[in-house]
Structure 1
Amino acid sequence: MCVYQWPPPGLSLQKQNGSNDSCILLLCSLEALNPELVNFTWIREGQGSLYSSTSYDMNSSLDLCKPDWSDGDTIICHANYSNSQTQTRIRLASHMLLTKIVGGRIAWTGSSSLRMCECRSVSQDEHIDNMYLKWVTNHLLFFTLIYLPHTDAESIRAVKGETVRLSCHSLPDDSVQVSVEWINSATSKTICKWKFDKKSESYTAMQCIPHVTFNRTSLSIENVQFSHSGIYSCKTTRLIPPPSVDNISNVKLQVEAPPGLSLQKQNGSNDSCILLLCSLEALNPELVNFTWIREGQGSLYSSTSYDMNSSLDLCKPDWSDGDTIICHANYSNNTTQTHIILTSDSESEYGSDKVLRRKYSAMLLTYEFAHGLF
């Protein structure tokens, strides 16, 4: 039985009429496909990339004139679209009417693409079994990479509302052009994908959901929410040079509630002094800058430390009844503040970003209690 190994379905490579006898015009076409963005890469076998183009035309042409080509050159056309890629090739000859034996295979070169036929004795059942085994292997690999728990995943914590950056693995040193795809493993949906050319530091075929940006292979999510928590998979595919090589790494994102800022009055050194304590809670220790402000008058004091709190001691005449003191905390890329209104009888109004206020008045409670008795 003779098993014919034709070029991948739908991709054809043909020689067109060149401008003169020393020139050859090649046309690579992707057929039987709804129009979409396709990246074509032309490669001279053994020497590297010749030319790349990206368009919705579903075809790409290459014009070569001597001395840029010679008899026996093998030209490869590589097409990348959606999540698929395919390629075909042609061997050049002066009259394009040669038949050559290539590595035990019969290679015809003419006005159409190179076709190879390798003959061996196989049964029909063996051929079908091999195809089925390949199909099962590919699907098992996909489920293993996407659905099984990712014990090797890097863990990243972020506060709700922040912009978080997810890092992908490093690209192989020999990569010239790669495709990058980030997938939300919980939904198996692509959230961003693009192609990156290392030489030109340029991007093509970008498709990302809103509030998502990228840089080289890393991904940034703006204004993260609790629903963004989960495992994300980064898949890179080396497109140039061929053959294609896939790499996958995983990142676990945990979105947490923003830390709370509290402002409390402590016991001062005497009746004319007030000691205030501002604390940032529910946050892993990190460098925090606290700024104390008297509303309407400007900054009173600043401190920077890993203690997650700051204190302010005020003695008269540096404060008076009705003064509003604001504690402002700045950490990472976030800021928050709260405030307190000072009174002589240690009864103060408290506020926060939500401008929630509480006032405790012993006199009012005494009056209401007395009124209830009569």
Structure 2
Amino acid sequence: MDNEIDIFELASYGIGFAEKKCPSYKCAEIFIGKSQYTNIELEENSIKYSELGSDNGVSIRIYNNQGSIGFAFTNKLNKTVIEKIVTNAIKMMNAGTPDPDFKNLPEKYESYPNVDYLFDKSINSLTIEDSIELIKDLITVCNEDDLAISQSGDFTANYNMSYVFNSNGVEAYGEETLFSISSNMIVKDKVTGETSNGYESQMKRKLKEIDGTTTAVEALNNAKKNLNRTKIKTKKMPIVLTPKGTINLILNPIASAINAELFQYKRSFLVDKREKKIGSKHLTLEDNALINGAVGSSIFDGEGVPCKNKKIIENVKVFLKGMRGLMPYVQGKFKLLIETTGTASFTLNEDNIIGGIKLESERKNEKYNRVLVNYINPDKNYQV
């Protein structure tokens, strides 16, 4: 029955019922998600279990004019249950804590971006037997290596359909697929008896890009690298970060810190640091949801707002407010992009790039301002 119901009709009914039940409410939102999944677990280098399943869910948020929120959800898609969760959400809203910072839910958007390759139709023909073959690739790598003694891992295939509706006119929906495979390999040195483990995973939008053998081999190599490690004393030293190290030490902490809720409730280390220096000027961090086929890409976010490429940290400096003077640092080079009145001057030397901009008044006897910006050029390589 849930598969046959008209989602748009159900959402419209829920929003209308909220307005009827509580005419004075400020805004309401309904989120509906439908998913199907395949999951196969590997333990001690053998298949532990396989699972096929599906999940449905409906949630509603409703706000009053004081910013108090009520929330309720269900896994049943029918009008009777929708009425119940709307009623419960209104009760929670009335008993909730006002939020003076709340403004409104998003307004209606006329268009959404085009992001390709988020859905792979091959999931429609994927069988449990096909999934097991991918897990067998992991098992084979472990069995054929002399040092490998055990392995755990998994393969998952997910299909998700999401809908977001609100009382301000937002209607957004889209479907996506996500495939992943992982291997945690354990190895043992036959001479020293020492053991270690190594981990590797893949996560892709397309099934054909999942490679169990490559994943297991990389996990095996990582495990071998961890054997017979030399301990060192605690001290300060320069380090070179691998992509995984960068994610763990830089990306994840920042991603957590810029969470809107954590920031609002002052549980982020970035509180009071907006527009202030928090790291190297050579660091660029983007939250780009528009990359075709990328795992983190999407057409809209959880509130139905069109996704975009959000600049979190930029290595680009604006020389002076009101002017469009930018000098991005790209692949070891500074590239100058400048639009001014023609009074800008730039000097290059071996170690630095120095930029100067002066503003001249129409009155020739008035003094001008001069701003110097010094950019370190460690690679001694520039492009202007």
Q: Give the TM-score taking structure 2 as reference length.
A: 0.22
Structure number with higher relative contact order (C-alpha < 8 Å, ≥ 6 residues apart): 2
More strand by share: 1
Q: Give the TM-score taking structure 1 as reference length.
A: 0.23
Greater C-alpha radius of gyration: 1
